[in-house]
Structure 1
Amino acid sequence: MRTSLLLACVTLLVAPLALSAAETERPNIILIMADDVGYECFGCYGSKQYQTPNIDRMAAGGMQFTHCYSQPLCTPSRVKLMTGLVNARNYSAFSVLDRDQYTFGHLLKEAGYRNMIAGKWQLYGAENYSKQFRGKGTLPGDAGFDQWCLWQVDKLGERYDAPLLNINGENRQFGKEKYGPDICVDQILNFIDQESDKPFFVYYPMILVHDPFVPTPDSAIRDRKAKQRNFEDMVAYMDKLIGKIVDHVEQRGLTDNTLILFVGDNGAHVRLASQLDGEKIQGGKGKTTDAGTRVPMIGYWPGKIPAGQTCDDLVDFSDFFPTLAQFAAAKIPGAIDGRSFSPQLLGEPGTPREWFYCYYNPRPERTKPTIFVRDQRWKLYDDGRLFDVANDVLEKRPITDPDGKPGAKAAHAKLSAALESMPAKGASLLQFPAGPAPSAAK
């Protein structure tokens, strides 16, 4: 029964791709993903602690989502985002994207886009990882990208001051006067400016604002050790670089035909604390609570996405794949778990999710998975714990008697059926393709 329900569920999630991509000129697409920053760190979500004027401007001129959910950690989130599949189907090891995976890079390239990625890779198994995983993942060129400027492909090095970056297959060591995130954005702008009759796709999984928490080029004190204050400066610099990209698109006259999406990859580091609406929010990276999985998300496309709108629909990281496919008029070659939210971006009702599923097992060689399903309010783990997250955001009070709380019984029944329809274990843990690893980038 689990298998039949699963197939039906996946088929339904592929189905809603008939909206207006054909009616809308295929846009350029820029997908920006910040590293390790929760929704509590943005002015448009109510923060007065952090300075994010450019992202706030995008929210005011576009659509802000209140219920976007990632995996709790970077590599699991990236694998889900890039493939449209839940981690139970294709996540094998931390820092690895299995070589047999079809990514949104492949999808858009086959649809006629020219593709570029800049920022953080961490999907090949760099030299700093165990030999068990080193070099077992995917190189950017094999994931559908024509050009790239990336930290941590096959080598580690520094990411901020004096960075080591892989640019189109060549590892380049920069001097102390160079700042890694600046180099990545400059490469993005150069790519946008290249003459072509093809639309472009830029995927920017940012280096910022992951630790180490160090001063930025704009910090008043360049040798400050205060991690929280440095983090606040890093958030401001992240916002500055995003503003630089948005401004460049506008200056090039591309605003009318460029979709820009911004999202975070998981919650903030656990050592960080933020104030939001009078409440202290401790960073939840690596945790399955809202502090680890609820992330900011904004869609910006003046003239196409209604300005100043807020969307409360559920968005799961697997949903980005079919959304990009719909805007690019690209055909998805197989079944996925994602559901397109492109109708909502264009101001239409769409077919919103009633729930999403999370399979989280970042180190499957030594850890056991955490599995849950949830909607905007209720959350059910596979061990039977049910939470009213809207009223218990830290998940301290599991509901032991659903009959005794209004709405809990119906939520339990709905989420139990959803949980039963999805995989209970990983499908391909540590099953790497046979044969020699592809040659590492030089």
Structure 2
Amino acid sequence: MSKDPSRPNIVLILADNLGWGELGCYGGGALRGAPTPRIDHLATEGLLHNFNVESDCVPTRSALMTGRHPIRTGCLQSVPAGFPQGLTPWEKTLPECLREAGYATAHHGKWHLGDIPGRYPSDRGFDEWFGIPRTTDESQFTSALGFDAEVAELPYIMQGITGQPSTDVCVYDLEKRRLIDEMLVEKSKDWLSRKASAGAPFFLYHPLVHLHFPTLPHLDFVKATGNGDFSDSMAEMDFRVGQILDHIDDIGVRDNTVVLFASDNGPEFRPPYRGTAGPWSGTYHTAMEGSLRVPFIIRWPGNVPQNVTSNEVVHVTDIFTTVLAMAGTTKPDDRPIDGINQVSLFQSPAVEKSKREGFPFYIKDELRAIKWRHWKLHLVWEPKVNQSSGKLESPYLFNTLRDPKEESDILAYNTWVLQPIMKLRTEFQKSLADDPARAQLGTRM
């Protein structure tokens, strides 16, 4: 384990489809039918209110792993098994950068950035991995009426080690759906124990499966809350995070380990597993604030002050650059990197401002909205999934401080805001045109 404070260990826990309003520390918890005491206590170590992600699983995970907007990498949306998906070999990932800096790396959880040889986690910078290559709704396949394994791929839990082929462990069905987060925690605990006795710093990426649909709890948590599967799953998720935190303490690495907790996108919109974004409108697959904003918690003993929060704008791409800065290494210089180093904000959230003023928000390859400071300009209006009114001739402008639900268009009274927003758009589009990686998208397979 690393004892060098300039090279801290890093543990990144990513929840799946966890809305801003689900956790107690964000106004949910018991109000959502499931107290979340472990994550709430972690939030006292450092909490952001304005952490922003992409529209669904694949785009966010690609942004996290590369520090680049998905419009650059081609990881635009979740696609079915058997179709081209994942990061091109040209993209450089966070674990690849950290491994070059001497870090041990592991991935236990949901990958969703490549499901063919050459694109599994163990091919993209992780020393070892265990989990699912795509997404968890596939656990429903084998129990679906009419499922035919001759024309549709069976979903598997898999594992792999760098330099060796990744292999199938077992079919991923509804029984394993209930067990998988327990399995993932056991894998992470074992790996952390092994690394605690080694000399190198480590990076653990632990993408949980909860709360992605079908949101089914482990049998130990069925009826734990008395409020149904979704609340029981929230209680399990909180417990699993607590298990990892306790193990970090037990193996004696807490003081030099950064723990990051976040979600990949806004809440579930499919009943009966529908989630909430709290005060914000919308779910994932929209450009509403409930899609962009998700929980983000950081614990960095001796560096991030306790009981301080911030409403400064941070984007998921920033985690790539910030983690590399924490590890004492630099981001790649041969391609545009959208992530910004936010270490100073995390260390002094009461006084520091974010180094980011805004960002463009794409769904697939369409620019839907642009966020700048506390303003949001919608170019396409889709307040709910599959309810788009198409491109707006006159865009809608909202101030998210005064109007968190995005209900009152005030562009006519604030046309001055178009100047910085359109400047941001123009500069980003110019960087796309100059991006050498975009030519690589034709070689995705």
TM range, normalised to the smaller chain?
0.7 to 0.9
Indicate which of 98, 102, 110 corresponds to 1:112. Answer: 102
Q: Does 1:411 align with 2:417?
A: yes
Residue matched to 1:3: none
Q: Displacement of 1:69 after TM fit?
A: 0.4
Amino acid at match of 2:427: S
Q: What is the distance in 1 between the residues matched to 2:374 and 2:135? A: 41
Cα distance, 1:220 vs. partner? 3.5
Cα 1:24/1:215, change in 2 over 3 Å: closer
Task: Tell me the CA shift for residue 252 of structure 1.
Answer: 1.2
| Matched-pair contact (CA < 8 Å) for 1:96–1:122 | yes
Question: For the structure 1 residues 167 and 300, does the alpha-carbon distance in structure 2 shift closer, same or farther, using more than 3 Å as the test?
Answer: same
Q: Residue by residue, what CA displacement relative to the aligned partner does 1:384-435 show, whole Å, maximum 9, x if unpaired?
A: 4322233333434323413xxxxx344332222212211287973992427x
* Alpha-carbon distance, 1:116 to partner: 0.3
1:19 matched to which residue of 2? none
Change (3 A) 1:153 1:417: closer
With 265-274 and 253-262 compared, the bigger mean Cα shift is at 265-274
Distance 1:80 1:313, change over 3 A: same
Q: Secondary structure at the match of 2:324?
A: helix
Q: How does 1:3-402 map to 2 (within 5 A)?
A: 24-47=5-28, 48-49=31-32, 50-60=34-44, 62-94=45-77, 95-124=85-114, 126=115, 135=116, 138-152=119-133, 158=139, 164-168=156-160, 169-173=166-170, 176=175, 179-194=179-194, 195-221=197-223, 229-271=228-270, 272=273, 284-334=283-333, 335-347=336-348, 349=351, 352-362=354-364, 369-382=366-379, 384-402=395-413
C-alpha distance in structure 2 between counterparts of 1:302 and 1:152, whole Å: 33
1:84-107 per-position Cα deviation (integer Å, ceiling 9, x unaligned): 111221124534222211010111
| Structure 1 counterpart SS, 2:245 | helix
Q: Secondary structure at the match of 2:241?
A: helix
SS at match of 2:190: helix
- Contact 2:15–2:210 (CA<8 Å) still a contact in 1? yes
Contact 1:161–1:179 (CA<8 Å) still a contact in 2? Answer: no
* Paired residues, number: 388
Q: Is the 8 A contact 2:322 2:340 kept in 1?
A: yes
Contact 2:103 2:201 survives alignment (8 Å): yes
Aligned 8 A contact 1:270 1:282 in 2: no
SS at match of 2:228: helix
2:19, 2:268 within 8 Å by CA — same for their partners in 1? Answer: no
| Bigger Cα displacement from structure 2, 64-73 vs 378-387 | 378-387
TM-score (norm 2): 0.79
Q: Hey, what's the Cα distance between the residues in 1 that align with 2:140 and 2:169?
A: 12
* 2:342 partner letter: F
Q: Contact conserved, 1:43 with 1:51, CA < 8 A, in 2?
A: yes
Structure 1 residue 56: deviation in Å?
0.5
Report Cα offsets for 1:24-63 as digits up to 9, x if no partner: 4311000111000111001111112232111111111x11
Structure 2 counterpart of 1:405:
none
Q: 2:426 aligns with which of 402, 407, 420?
A: 420
In structure 1, distance between residues paired with 2:223 and 2:429: 50
The sequence identity of aligned pairs, in percent, is 26
Greater length-normalized contact order (CA 8 Å, ≥ 6 residues apart): 1
Q: Alpha carbons of 1:156 and 1:212: their partners in 2 closer, same or farther (altered >3 Å)? A: closer
Deviation string, structure 1 residues 278-319 (Cα, Å, up to 9, x no partner): x6x676011111111100000012333211110221110110
Q: Displacement, 1:218? A: 3.0
- Summarize the Cα distance change of 1:190–1:237 in structure 2 as closer, same or farther, 3 Å threshold: same
> Deviation at 1:276?
8.1
SS of structure 2 residue aligned to 1:203: strand
1:65–1:399 Cα change, 3 Å: same
- Does the 8 Å contact 1:36/1:267 carry over to 2? yes
Q: Secondary structure at the match of 1:313?
A: coil
Q: Deviations over 1:198-235 (max 9, x none)?
A: 0000011211110012233233449x9x9x83112111
2:360–2:425: 8 Å Cα contact kept in structure 1?
Answer: no
Please give the secondary structure, in 1, of the residue aligned with 2:339.
Answer: coil
* Contact 1:215/1:221 (8 A) holds in 2: no
User: For structure 1, which segment, 137-146 or 374-383, has the greater mean C-alpha deviation from structure 2 after superposition?
Assistant: 374-383
RMSD: 3.2
Q: SS at 1:253's partner residue?
A: coil
Q: Indicate if the aligned counterparts of 1:323 and 1:341 stay in contact, CA closer than 8 A.
A: yes
Deviation at 1:112, TM superposition (A): 0.4
Structure 1 residues 37 and 161 mapped into 2: Cα distance closer, same or farther (>3 Å)?
A: farther
Residue type of the alignment partner of 1:411? V
**In 1, Cα distance between equivalents of 2:312 and 2:275:** 25
Shift of 1:274: 5.6
Q: Secondary structure at the match of 1:218?
A: helix
Q: Displacement, 1:273?
A: 5.0
4+ long deviations beyond 4 Å:
153-157, 159-163, 174-178, 272-277, 348-351, 424-427
- Structure 2 contact 19–290 (Cα < 8 Å) conserved: yes
Query: For residues 161 and 52 of structure 1, what CA distance do their matches in structure 2 show?
Result: 32
> Would you say the 8 A contact 2:13–2:208 is kept in 1?
yes
Report what 1:5 is aligned to.
none
Distance 2:328 2:257 in 1: 15
2:7 aligned partner, one-letter code = R
